[in-house]
Structure 1
Amino acid sequence: MTDNPTTPGVRADVWLWAARFFKTRSLAKQAIDGGKIEVNDAACKPAKVVQVGDTLRIVRGEERLVCVVVALSAKRGPAPEARKLYAETDASIAERERQREDRRLTGGALLRPDARPDKRARRLIQDLKKTL
């Protein structure tokens, strides 16, 4: 972690990688280019400088996070150190918990048939697969 006040900031893609939101810096760059990251409610580019106090909106699949930058780092360290780089807002935590509970209650949105397909239904499924 860098607590040096002379450091102006860190690139957004490097910070997201160091904070362990993405496994590689390249994935962080792709997410930024794809519009999945906003800094202070504005679109972001990979080279945008992130500073302490900035608010980031991060979308990873169905997961949506709103975090405030607490510390800067250009180096990827262990997970406990990475968690110290940001603070997730209370509203974001509550929304993620609500979504997790909804997924649990709906069975993860998996539509399962009541029974196994019979011989006729199986043949229809096979014919459908052949046409695709």
Structure 2
Amino acid sequence: MHTRLGICRAAVTYAFRMAESVRVDAWLWAVRVFKSRSLATAACKAGHVQLDGARAKPSSLVRAGTRVVVRGGPRERILVVRQTLAKRVGAPLAAEAMFDESPPPPPRAERPAPVALRERGAGRPTKRERRDLDRLRGR
């Protein structure tokens, strides 16, 4: 049976149907933690993803209630699965599919400031300035 747009209702239902369990790399991609599924797979293979405290393979299955820890990038993300999604969905639906227990990022005042800044357009540093920069950086 087709709708007015010519899309089969069964296909639409399949795209948003929740499975009981789904692969962790597919779920991380579907809830928009990673931009592509291959990036999610690479993070799992590199050991940056944990499921309930254990290292996750890309083919590991997640269910509702599973705790997913993603390390890498600027901070650690702690996510609890609310819904299993096999297909990528919009940002509002992705936010509903997980509960984010990550600690908030530190305020700007507590972030470390860059050690040495040069004015924009100042050109390349001279030999003397390079030695001063190296001394500041501890090289």
TM-score range, shorter chain: 0.7 to 0.9
Could you tell me which amino acid in structure 2 is paired with residue 111 of structure 1?
V
- Taking the aligned partners of 1:60 and 1:27, their CA distance within structure 2 comes to 12
Instruction: With the length of structure 1 as denominator, give the TM-score of the two structures.
Output: 0.73
Which residue does the alignment assign to 1:122? Answer: 126
Matched, 1:109 2:121: no
Q: Which residue of 2 aligns with 1:81?
A: 93
Unaligned runs of 5+ in 1: 116-120, 127-132
Highest Rg: 1 or 2?
A: 2
Distance of 2:29 and 2:64 partners within structure 1: 16
Question: How far has the Cα of 1:8 moved from its partner?
Answer: 3.4
After TM superposition, the runs of 4+ consecutive aligned structure 1 residues lying more than 6 A away are: none
**Identity rate, percent:** 30
Bigger shift: residues 60-69 or 78-87: 60-69
Unpaired stretches in structure 2, ≥5 consecutive residues: 1-15, 120-124, 132-139
**TM-aligned CA distance change 1:112 to 1:36, over 3 Å:** same
**Alignment of 1:2 onto 2:17:** yes
**Greater fraction of residues in helix:** 1
User: How many aligned residue pairs are there?
Assistant: 111
1:96 to 101, 104, 108: 104
TM-score (norm 2): 0.70
